[in-house]
Amino acid sequence: MKPVHKNLYESIRKKILNLEYKAGELLPSENDYCKILQITRPTVRQALARLESEGFIKKHKGKGSVIQEPKQGLGILSITGMTGATGNRDLHTRVIKKPHAMDWPQNFSFPLTIEEKESGCLVLERLRFIKKNPILIETTYFPNGVLNRFQRLDFSKNSLFDLLREKYDINIMGGEQKIKAIKAPSLVADLLKTKAGTPILHLERKI
């Protein structure tokens, strides 16, 4: 069971992102939420404090909580990922390989702790589409054993960041990434509907 304040946070956040609550509008008051949902004021304040810290609302003394313009990603290479850059409307995702355990790749681009090296990793591979056109293959590495029942989740949802937030209350605040040009291997070329050996961009990301 999710804490009540988290359910309220998720509900308001979704309405802001779906533009059901528009920028400049006032949220219902704390009293309204308490009466309608039969919850306590500290619970409401906890949800609103998180929304304000993430930039979804701005509290004004004597006025209430004002909806802020949802932040857009800086592009598919930003840490917010494709969903932050394009939104959900035209974005579709197909799982190529569900998370599977393996050793970290040799010459992995980013430093690993001793614990990470010993635990190995889970690797998730997904193909991303915009308006039914394949755009990129996304490979994400997670330390093994960190996320309980992770392999049972539905990874066809567009935003991996949303999934981590909703299921594990993990907010991705930053990371590091490297980008380089490679020749498309046969399998990758088939998925992206191009020829093997075609130059493509390869993005590696550690979050």
Could you give the C-alpha distances from 95 to 29, 54, 116, 204, in angstroms and in order?
42, 29, 25, 18
pTM of the model: 0.63
Residue pLDDT, tens place only, 48-83: 998 998 888 999 888 899 999 866 544 444 545 555
Helix and strand counts by DSSP (H, E) for the chain: 7, 7
The larger pLDDT score, comparing residue 90 to residue 113, is at: 113
Q: Which residues pair with 201 in a beta bridge?
A: 181
Q: Which of 84-88, 119-123, 130-134 has the lowest mean pLDDT?
A: 84-88
pLDDT given at position 42: 94
Asked whether 172 and 163 are in contact (CB, 8 A), the reply is no
- Quote the CA–CA distance of 137 and 111 in Å, as a whole number: 23
pLDDT given at position 58: 92
Identify the three-state secondary structure at position 164.
helix
Residue pLDDT, tens place only, 74-109: 444 454 555 555 555 678 888 988 989 999 988 888
Q: How many CB atoms lie within 10 A of CB 111?
A: 8
Confidence of residue 147 (pLDDT cuts 50, 70, 90): confident
